[in-house]
Amino acid sequence: MTDTGSHKLVIIGSGPAGWTAAIYAARASLGPVVYTGVPKQNPSIVLPGGQLMLTTDVENYPGFPEGVTGPEMMSLFQKQAERFGTTVVGEDIESCDFSRRPFALKTSGGGVVHAHAVIVATGATANWLNLPNEQRLAQSGGGVSACAVCDGALPMFRDQPLAVVGGGDTAMEEALYLTKFASKVYVIHRRDELRASKVMQDRLFAQPNVEMMWNKVVTDVLGEDRVTGVELEDTTTGERSHLEIKGLFIAIGHTPATRFIRESGLEFDDKGYIRLATRSSATNIEGVFAAGDVADSVYRQAVTAAGMGCQAALDAERWLGSMGVH
């Protein structure tokens, strides 16, 4: 394999966490190299730019009073990082050897890049139903989303009937959030009981504009440019029905993008997210840091990911300094 050189800091991932880390690291003269990843045809795989590449309107990120599209925001982040000297490589990191220093990272281009420090910022993918129309309308901004907190307050969803698919605490939180804006919130669940905690169920059931759709699965999402409804199938009788809605929120979990480092020696929590030290971006391996949704199963917001990217860059800078790498 080709040795593509050695660097002070390599950042894996190009969402808000990765680009923010790059901005801070570049301004600290660390010469960061960002591996953005390679575009995939499967939308459930993290794209270069992260989950924001599937978000048409971002209205809750500070500094954009008129809102901004997700792709535009990530383009601005990248330009800012490049302005301070960040090197950008459009390849995947396929595996990492953290057992030796400098670390050895295998690239999809067939090379090996060496790094004294690494920030993993590969994010997490929402779990989708994998229906063709669901994916099409999610990518086009047609009313399918995997984040109610991100998108639920948009004008297109206000005072409209909306639906949430899922039965865990995340689905309850998403549905509760939507009750503030929607005329009605349907919760579609494949069984006749929820996995969510009792307290979360009670909070949801107390809302007057919530209706449960028990023993139902979504078999199709209807609408050309915007969601107009969903086709449902009863899991007990097989009966088909049609539910008219103007927005569909998928809340069946997230999968952190860590497959390429599962055998690297890093520690993960019980959900598969990278485990971090308390109040730090440091992992269990010295010199390896993590930021954003790959290590955050709670908030999963662009602004919190950016904050974690800042933290990781500062932690990496201090660690490199302590190791005599300047």
Q: Active-site positions?
A: 147, 150-151
Three-state SS letters, the chain: CEEEEEEEEEEECCCHHHHHHHHHHHHCCCCCEEECCCCCCCCCCCCCCHHHHHCCCECCCCCCCCCECHHHHHHHHHHHHHHCCCEEECCCEEEEECCCCCEEEEECCCEEEEEEEEEECCCEEECCCCCHHHHHHHHCCCCEECCHHHHCCCHHHCCCEEEEECCCHHHHHHHHHHCCCCCEEEEECCCCCCCCCHHHHHHHHCCCCEEEECCEEEEEEECCCCCCEEEEEECCCCCEEEEECCEEEECCCEEECCHHHCCCCCCECCCCCECCCCCCCECCCCCEEECHHHCCCCCCCHHHHHHHHHHHHHHHHHHHHHCCCC
Quickly tell me which residue has 């048409």 as its tokens. Answer: 56
